Amino acid sequence: MAEQDCIFSKIVKGEIPAQKVYEDEAVLAFLDINPISDGHTLVIPKQKYEKLDECPAEVLGQLASKLGKIAQAVAAATGCDGYNVLCNNGRAAGQLIDYVHFHIIPRNEGDGVFHRWPHFQYPTGKIEEIAAKIRENIK
- Catalytic residue annotation: 101
Q: How far is 91 from 26, CA to CA, in rounded Å?
A: 26
**Residue 81 backbone dihedrals phi, psi, to 5 degrees:** -80, -20
The smaller minimum CB distance to ligand 5GP, of residues 61 and 94, is found at 94
Which of residues 12, 30, 45, 106 is near ligand 5GP by CB under 6 A? 30
CB-facing half-sphere around the CA of 71: CA atoms within 13 A: 18
Q: Which stretch binds ligand 5GP (CB under 6 A): 59-67, 89-97, 116-124, 125-133?
A: 89-97
According to DSSP H, which parts of 37-121 are helical? 57-78
| Minimum gap (Å) between residue 94 Cβ and ligand 5GP | 5
By CB under 6 A, name the binding residues for ligand 5GP. 7, 18, 30-34, 42, 88, 94-97
